[in-house]
Amino acid sequence: MSTASPGQSLRVLFIAQCFTPKVGGRASLLRDLIRNLPGDRTSVSTPGAPGAREADRELPARVHRGPAGFFGAGELGLTLWRRRLTRICRSERPGIVVASGGTTEGLLAQHVRQKRGLPYVLQLEAPELARIGLAIRADDAAGHRLQRMISEAAGIVVGGPTCRFEAYKLGVYPHHLHVVRPGVDLETFRPGEAPPALSERLGHRQGPVLVAVLGESTEHDLETLLRALASLRHQRRGARLVVIESEPTDHGALVRELRLEEAVHFVGRLPPSELPDWYRLADVFVLARRKEAGAEGGIPVALMEAMASGCAIVATRSAGVEEIARADEDALLVEPGAHAKLAKSVLGLLREEDSRAALATQARQRAESEFGAPRFGRDFREYLEVLYFRRLGLGTLEPPAEPPVQETSPAV
């Protein structure tokens, strides 16, 4: 068993399948976490990706990359990556492993535990927990394997209280769950003017711009946003909607049905450096989730990014949304699927500039107090150290040095 020596910070090894940044998705959060994780003993194991190595150099961690196909090549890929992880553990000597993602990462972390005796933590979101739950309920060999992966984890980290429900369905005890709310880079996502070139990219038509960012969640309700835009354009003919998707899908039929061909601009996956400017372009940021999303929708990272960017926000209610934004303080919230109410709320903000500015200011202030990436890193590190040193008792921390005692001459 590997343990940390007195006075030595706990070394952490992250295993991640998706590490290159994506729009509002877990990968960008993972980078923010590693950038802000206190201590200098962090390493990351992840498959390779085009153009990723330059970004790796900016991280305060050793990043070990291999062929991306390792994760997608079935048992052969897992076998090759297990061997790579064994070598990484031998050279880096981590004290704890964090599997940041779904089943593949967790099974690799379980292998490290079996071979090297290292405890592992699963960092999961509600959608991933739901998918694991479906596999376990299938009651086959693969499901039993995942059940062992869950039960052998030293702990499970989730992004918010609503994610707990999905973990409870898997039989995870409350004391094995810990909430660490994600954070975003407040310097990257901040209020400001969008570059003129970005406005020109949308054409020279006049009118307010709505922006929606669709990340990794499958619960986004683009139909409600499109119908809300069609309703809004009865009052504001020049209104446009920019849809930023990490995984572009075909919505052409509905766009044509609503006659929005000239009003909707679809943007694919963006480099991380470009995304903040699109938030600044928004007169109003809009977000809609399906009625049945519930806890499975996960934490809406794009909502946090929009708040940090000082956007006026209109969103539909869901468990994840209401964890982040307070109704009528940080955002205007309407019922799921209510496209007419969403359009009415957007129109009200467009007409009342003072109300829109006040909502945007409050959103930024909330982001500054609650959603900063440094707090995210500190909270995550604190959890790992409490788990490792206290709950598991796998090492000792050197107590803080006592100030030297000043000797004084006796009074005469």
Residue 282 tokens read as 């928004």
Picking from 259, 229, 227, the residue whose alpha carbon sits closest to that of residue 242 is 229
Q: Does residue 253 form part of some domain?
A: yes
- Asked whether the beta carbons of 35 and 28 are under 8 A apart, the reply is no
Average model confidence (pLDDT) across the chain: 85
Q: Are residues 259 and 304 in the same domain?
A: yes
Please report how the helices 126-137 and 103-116 are oriented relative to each other, as an axis angle in degrees rounded to 10.
80
Same domain, 231 and 325: yes
Chain length of the chain: 412
Q: Are strands 177-179 and 240-245 parallel, antiparallel or unpaired?
A: unpaired
Residues 56 and 102 in one domain: yes
The answer to whether residue 159 sits within a structural domain is yes
Q: Based on the structure, what is the number of domains in the chain?
A: 2
CA 259 from chain centre, in angstroms, equals 34
Phi, psi of 178 (to 5 degrees): -145, 135
246 occurs within a structural domain: yes
Domain that holds residue 250: 196-370
Residue 158: Cβ-neighbour burial (10 angstroms; 0-12, 13-18, 19+): buried
**Cα–Cα distance between 61 and 288 in angstroms, integer?**
36
Residues 202 and 123 placed together within one structural domain of the fold: no
225 and 308 in a single domain? The answer is yes
pLDDT of 408: 47
CATH number of residue 359's parent domain: 3.40.50.2000
pLDDT of residue 11: 92
| Contact criterion met (CB below 8 Å) for 75 and 111 | no
Specify the pLDDT at position 412.
Answer: 36
pLDDT at 291: 72
pLDDT at 384: 95
Ranges of residues in the chain with a pLDDT under 50 are 1-7, 400, 407-412
Structure tokens that stand for 74 in this block = 């079935």
Which amino acid is present at 154? Answer: A
Q: What is the pLDDT of residue 7?
A: 40
Tens digit of each residue's pLDDT (9 = 90 or more) over 19-31: 766 666 667 788 8
Residues 204 and 171 in one domain: no
Asked, for residue 115, whether it belongs to a domain, the answer is: yes
User: What is residue 2's predicted lDDT score, i.e. its pLDDT?
Assistant: 46
Mode of pairing for the β-strands spanning 120-123 and 155-158: parallel
Residue 411 domain flag: no
Pairing of strands 313-316, 155-158: unpaired
The answer on 218 and 174 residing in a single domain is no
The pair of structure tokens assigned to 208 is 């307010």
pLDDT of residue 102: 74
Shared domain for 155 and 95, answered yes or no, is yes
Same-domain status, 304 and 387: no
How many other CB atoms are there within 10 angstroms of residue 260's CB atom? 19
The sign of the torsion formed by the CA atoms of 334, 337, 341, 347 equals: positive
- The DSSP symbol for 191 reads -
User: What residues are paired with 64 via a beta bridge?
Assistant: 45
For tokens 């202030």, the residue is 365
In a domain, 408, yes or no: no
Segment (H or E) for 99: strand 96-100
301 assigned to some structural domain: yes
Longest distance between any two alpha carbons in the chain, whole Å: 98
Per residue in 100-114, is it b (16+ CB within 10 Å) or e — as a string?
bbbbbbbbbbbbbbe
pLDDT for 4 equals 45
Would residue 3 count as lying in a domain? no
- 387 shares a domain with 351: no
pLDDT of residue 40: 67
pLDDT of residue 49: 57
Same domain, 17 and 162: yes
Is the domain of 345 the same as that of 379?
Answer: no
DSSP code of 295? G
- 231 is written with which tokens? 């309703």
Residue pointed to by tokens 């869950």: 150
Say how far apart CA 54 and CA 23 lie, in whole Å: 19
